[in-house]
Chains A and B, each alone.
Chain A
Amino acid sequence: MAAVPLEVSDLRTTLFTRRGEMKAVDGLSLSVGAGETVALVGESGCGKSLSALSIMRLLPDPPARIVGGAVKLNGRDIVPLSEESMLDIRGKEIGMIFQDPMSALNPVATIEKQIAEVVMAHTGLGRFQARARAHELLEQVGIPDAARRLDAYPHQLSGGMCQRVVIAMAIACSPSVLIADEPTTALDVTVQAQVLTLLKRLQAEAGMAMIFITHDLGVVAETADRVVVMYAGRKVEEAAVDDLFEAPLHPYTAGLIGATPVPGAVRAERLADIPGMVPPLNALPPGCAFAPRCPRAMDRCRTERPALTEPRPGRRVACFAAEKGPT
């Protein structure tokens, strides 16, 4: 059997700052199969973006450093690899799409040059062939008039077009894993729909494993097969997308879903809100990080940290209350 494209186990990333060490990613495990989309969901500061950067080995060091765990890409652990070997892997075996397409592109280089550089670095194609490949990629990501756009600069393209270029660069060498970090957050609704459709199509064509990072549950529902919910650096729940929306186990997941209005559904009088706010990483409560905001918190939650349990195959949750029964 072929190795799982991406398998992360007990990944731990710590921020070393003047105000102390902060466990930004605290023991994250997840695996993504070929053709599968796993959504990484959570609010700002929950560690979802740092998890992605850790997997890509693109952490800003200092202050962030991987202090433990393994990231197996097609069966090989890439955490101990040198930066030099990572250069070879990034773009070739694992691609990444960023939130802000404008800053992900070099403003003073043409589109062709930027795509061709990636292609030439990993395939050994010549300049001429690389240009042809760039053209092909632009057409693949649905950029109209691709031949002319090759010589354009990023500022001459709209945000949606730039994101397509970034996607073209990410898939240029047919990576087996694609990480998309809030790829549609900066885009308008209709353009977001275009980009999501494009990503799904490309994924289906190439059978890529995809990690989709977002805070928008609507986008999760539209794209994901499985969902990992993070809170304060830890995974609090994991489930298939239908199960998660139908019967969330963790009170935080339930809160997030209740706080997101669903158009077309019967109008709720009030949104369910989660009181309080996300605690800062350097001042986490001793027990469960969510306990101070949790409607089901018990005494035990405030002193002891719940471990991940697996009530059903493929369904994981870290909550003492959920062990007793569903929300």
Chain B
Amino acid sequence: MTALLTLNNVHVHFNTAAGLVRAVNGVSLDLGAGETLGLVGESGCGKSTLGKAIMRLVPVSTGEIRVEGTDIAQLQGSALTAMRRKVQMIFQDPYGSLNPRSTVGRSVAQPLVLAGWKPEAVAERVDTLLGWVGLPTDAKQRYPHEFSGGQRQRIGIARALALNPRLIVCDEPVSALDVSVRAQVINLLEDLKAEFGVSYLFISHDLSVVEHIADRVAVMYLGTIVEIGSRDRIWRQPQHPYTKALLAAAPIADPKLARTRTRTVLQGELPSPLEPPAGCPFHSRCPIAQARCKTERPVLRATGDSAQAACHFI
């Protein structure tokens, strides 16, 4: 089976006034058709930048991004436009991701119009799409400010689905939503996946949401993947000390479970990506770091069936 999305040693570097920021620093991963890959990490770890790089919203410095075998990392013009139909994105901010001066119908129709659909076909498709995400068709004539956050996120999902993409990059799609509405959107995403076989790259800082929705999980720290594996593997037998710390820190909505588990609180905070530590990026906060970690950067190694971690001491 060829993977739907293959990242090969992807780097995204930004030149800023303060110096070179290595936001994404050598990421490789595969995502199969119909799979949901969760991408977790704390703010500044590069997970959103990686999502944007896949969408080609930020320039890729080096590395390959293959969608169904074609490297799109440096594509331009019409070849890029053709590829964009296969990969779509759902954004974090339901208030910012829709043009406030466009009707909902116009926003949802946008990808279709750009793809050269005929007006009648566009109108029909928009009705279908709004139906799929559970919005009334009279929503078409209305403006985004007339809708709640959850409804707007549905509009964003309808827009992303318009051209039957193979992959949807979800950048923190439920972080801005209230608990009850968040569950609605997560369920909708799962229903759509079951119906259309679409794959998700699900970027989130919320471990419990990722645990619920993802088949596999990749953990990022300072621009690199420190551990990747199946959901159960990551939750039951985390190998990397950062993954362990992240799981220990995540609050659990069950007071009895919360009291019984041992809780090692990770000290310190994320180092600045302007001056990433030499060697293992995590060594400055790692409870098991040794001299070797300060000089030698660990690579991802297999730690079991389809699981990999980047640590010298596994």
Contact = CB atoms under 8 A, between A and B. Distances in A.
A, B: real partners:
yes
Interface stretch (A9-17, A219-227, A308-316): A219-227
Contacts of A271: 183, 186-187, 212
Q: Is the interface of B mostly helix, strand, loop or mixed?
A: helix
Interface in A175-231: 188-194, 196-197, 215-222, 224
Contacts of A188: 42-43, 205, 269-270
A108 interface: no
5 contacts: A189-B246, A260-B179, A262-B208, A274-B181, A275-B184
Please give me the 4 A-B residue pairs with the lowest Cβ-Cβ distance, nearest first: A218-B251, A259-B183, A193-B249, A274-B180
Interface string A222-265: 10100000000000000001100100000000011111111111
Interface in A18-75: 43-44
Interface of B: 42-43, 148, 150-151, 178-184, 186-187, 190, 205, 207-209, 211-212, 235, 245-258, 263, 265-267, 269-270
A43 B87 CA distance: 33
A242 B207 CA distance: 23
A148 interface: no
A193 B248 contact: yes
B265 A263 contact: no
B248 to A, nearest CB: 7
A324 interface: no
Most buried by B among A189, A197, A267: A189
Contacts of A216: 179, 251
Most buried by B among A216, A220, A263, A271: A263
A242 B183 contact: no
Interface residues of A, number: 48
A267 B279 CA distance: 37
A227 B150 CA distance: 26
B235 A263 contact: yes
A160 B269 contact: yes
A263 B117 CA distance: 44
A245 B178 contact: no
A190 B178 contact: no
Given A189-B42, A193-B248, A193-B266, A245 B180 contact: no
Contacts of A221: 251-255, 257-258
A261 B212 contact: yes
Contacts of B187: 270-271, 273
Most buried by B among A216, A245, A277: A277
Given A158-B269, A277-B150, A263 B249 contact: no
A265 B181 CA distance: 21
A222 B255 CA distance: 6
Nearest to A252: B180
A224 B251 CA distance: 12
Nearest to A221: B255
Given A263-B207, A274-B180, A245 B255 contact: yes
Interface in A269-310: 270-275, 277-278, 293
A215 B184 CA distance: 16
A272 B179 CA distance: 11
Contacts of B248: 193
A193 B255 contact: no
A147 to B, nearest CB: 19
Given A160-B269, A260-B208, A190 B252 contact: no
Given A43-B178, A191-B269, A274 B183 contact: yes
A221 B151 CA distance: 29
Contact of B148 (A160, A194, A275, A277): A277
A218 B148 contact: no
A149 to B, nearest CB: 14
A259 B258 contact: no
A189 B186 contact: no
Contact of B178 (A215, A220, A258, A264): A215
A273 B184 contact: yes
Contact of A263 (B42, B148, B252): B252
Nearest to B148: A277
Contacts of A158: 269
